[in-house]
């Protein structure tokens, strides 16, 4: 009897050799730690995203502070890359030209940053000026003007600043149709400040706006001189291009920088100076 061939490995036909069979082995410590370390990955990614968002937010804030300064740098980089891309291979762009261009762009960026800084400082100064100007409310101010409001119950005080002696000075009043409706004769006056008052009751004029003209006569020469009027400040306004203006009783809106004199409120006295005035 023929003996059957002994299979030394005790496997069925078609089975793999022991070396190629899958072997169950005990997982190593690193293999066990891998899934555990992979689990917190989303948390780490979320933290990185949060940090990235915060960084982007800070960057956007910095960009908003520098304004178009960063855009200038970006334009320089784009131009430099375009020059490198389209340069003549046989005659490449000199590196010194890039340095010169960079210096020019840096200068433009610096000027832009300076402009933004000056705008911010101007806004702060303007706000401080508005706050300080509010203290003028209730005070009496004097400013050059030729248009005033007169009426039965209106008393407007004014003054002239004469550069020399005149034989005669006359205040002429014109209505809205530029027709002369009243005159106030001041007579001969010497050089300096000459005060006058326009009383609506004495003039008998209806309430409205009137143009004032001061006529001066010396010999045969007739000329005019600016008129200055005083009134109580009732409010302060900030009007666009007109800037800061004062609403002066009897005069109307007067630009702040047209004010020539600031006086204490009527009735306000001090021990040393009963009528305190601050010429500008």
pLDDT tens digit sequence for 177-189? 999 999 999 999 9
pLDDT at res. 101: 78
Extended beta strands in the chain, E state:
140-144, 147-150, 155-162, 166-174, 180-189, 192-199, 208-218, 221-225, 227-239, 243-248, 252-255, 261-263, 277-279
Q: Residue 227: is its pLDDT beyond 90?
A: yes
Higher pLDDT, 86 or 57: 86
Q: Which residue has the tokens 């007067």?
A: 254
Q: Residue 138: is its pLDDT beyond 70?
A: yes
pLDDT at res. 135: 85
Q: Which residues, listed in sequence order, are joined to residue 91 by a DSSP beta bridge?
A: 88
pLDDT at res. 216: 96
Distance CA 210, CA 171 (A): 12
pLDDT at res. 18: 46
Torsional sign, CA 105, 106, 111, 115:
positive
Higher pLDDT, 257 or 18: 257
Residue 17 confidence class, pLDDT cut points 50, 70, 90: very low
Please name which of 168, 256, 153, 265 lies closest in space to residue 203, comparing C-alpha atoms: 153
Residues 51-70, mean pLDDT to the nearest whole number = 49
Per DSSP, the residues of 111-174 read HHHHHHHHHHHHHHHHHHHHHHHGGGTTSEEEEE-SEEEE-TT-EEEEEEEESS-EEEEEEEEE
Is pTM beyond 0.85? Reply is: no
Residues 154-209: pLDDT tens digits?
888 899 999 999 999 999 999 999 999 999 999 999 999 999 999 988 898 899 99
Residue 250 confidence class, pLDDT cut points 50, 70, 90: confident
Residue 129 confidence class, pLDDT cut points 50, 70, 90: confident
Q: Which of 70-84, 134-148, 159-173, 197-211 has the lowest mean pLDDT?
A: 70-84
Element housing 79 (H / E): helix 69-86
pLDDT at res. 22: 47
Q: Residue 64: is its pLDDT beyond 70?
A: no
Residues 74-88, mean pLDDT to the nearest whole number = 79
């Amino acid at each position: 009897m023929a003996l059957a061939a002994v299979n030394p490995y005790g496997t069925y036909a078609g089975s793999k050799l022991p070396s190629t069979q899958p072997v169950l082995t005990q997982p190593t410590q690193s293999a066990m730690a891998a899934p555990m370390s992979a689990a917190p990955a989303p948390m780490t990614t979320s933290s990185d995203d949060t940090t990235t968002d915060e960084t982007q937010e800070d960057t956007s804030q910095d960009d908003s502070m520098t304004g178009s300064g960063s855009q200038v740098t970006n334009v320089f980089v784009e131009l430099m890359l375009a020059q490198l891309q389209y340069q003549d291979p046989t005659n490449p762009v000199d590196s010194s030209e890039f340095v010169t261009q960079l210096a020019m762009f840096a200068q433009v960026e610096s000027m832009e940053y300076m402009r933004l800084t000056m705008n911010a400082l101007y806004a702060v100064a303007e706000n401080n000026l508005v706050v300080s100007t509010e203290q003028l409310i209730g005070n009496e101010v004097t400013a050059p003007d030729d248009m005033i409001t007169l009426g039965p119950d209106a008393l407007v005080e004014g003054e002239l600043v004469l550069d020399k002696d005149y034989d005669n000075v006359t205040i002429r009043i014109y209505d809205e149709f530029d027709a002369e409706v009243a005159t106030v004769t001041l007579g001969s006056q010497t050089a300096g400040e000459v005060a006058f008052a326009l009383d609506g009751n004495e003039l008998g004029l209806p309430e409205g706006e009137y143009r004032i003209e001061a006529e001066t006569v010396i010999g045969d020469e007739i000329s005019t001189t600016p008129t200055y009027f005083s009134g109580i400040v009732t409010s302060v306004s900030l009007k666009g291009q007109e800037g800061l203006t004062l609403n002066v009783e009897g005069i109307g809106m007067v630009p702040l920088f047209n004010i020539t004199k600031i006086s204490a409120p009527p009735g306000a006295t001090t021990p040393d100076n009963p009528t305190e005035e601050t010429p500008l």
